């Protein structure tokens, strides 16, 4: 079952931060500068965690992964509250 995850990172190194940004861009949509919304099944979540650990410095970097609930419906959008400018997910398309 797919679930929404909010992934946020705090990485002091520009080089490592860029690597994490590129990695997460492939897994989800950017919500804020260092926050992504990802739709993952359990296997994908595990794979993402392994990739993050490989790219991060465990003593200096931090990534938070928050379970934001199940993905439901044909065009799901997570329930995220806002103060100020709202995030609008980009429409996803499949290229075959």
Q: How does pLDDT run across 42-79, given as a tens digit for each residue?
A: 999 999 999 999 999 999 999 999 998 888 876 666 66
Q: DSSP 3-state helix, strand, coil percentages of the chain (rounded to 5)?
A: 25, 30, 45
For the entire predicted model, the pTM comes to 0.79
CA dist 30 and 19 (Å) reads 14
Structure confidence by residue, pLDDT tens digits, 19-47: 999 999 999 999 889 999 999 999 999 99
- For position 73, what pLDDT does the model report? 75
- For position 86, what pLDDT does the model report? 67
Q: What is the residue whose two structure tokens read 């965690």?
A: 49
Which residues, in sequence order, are CB contacts of 79 under 8 Å at separation 6+? 68, 69
Domains identified in the chain and CATH numbers: 3-70 (3.30.70.240)
Model confidence at 95: pLDDT above 90 = no
């Amino acid at each position: 079952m797919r679930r929404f995850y909010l992934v946020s990172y705090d990485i002091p190194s520009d080089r490592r931060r860029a690597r994490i940004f590129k990695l997460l861009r492939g897994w989800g949509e950017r919500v804020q500068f260092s926050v992504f919304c990802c739709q993952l099944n359990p296997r994908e979540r595990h794979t993402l965690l392994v990739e993050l650990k490989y790219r991060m410095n465990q003593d200096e970097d931090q990534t938070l992964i928050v379970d934001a609930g199940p993905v439901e419906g044909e065009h799901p959008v997570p329930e995220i509250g806002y103060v100020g400018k709202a995030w609008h997910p980009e429409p996803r398309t499949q290229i075959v």
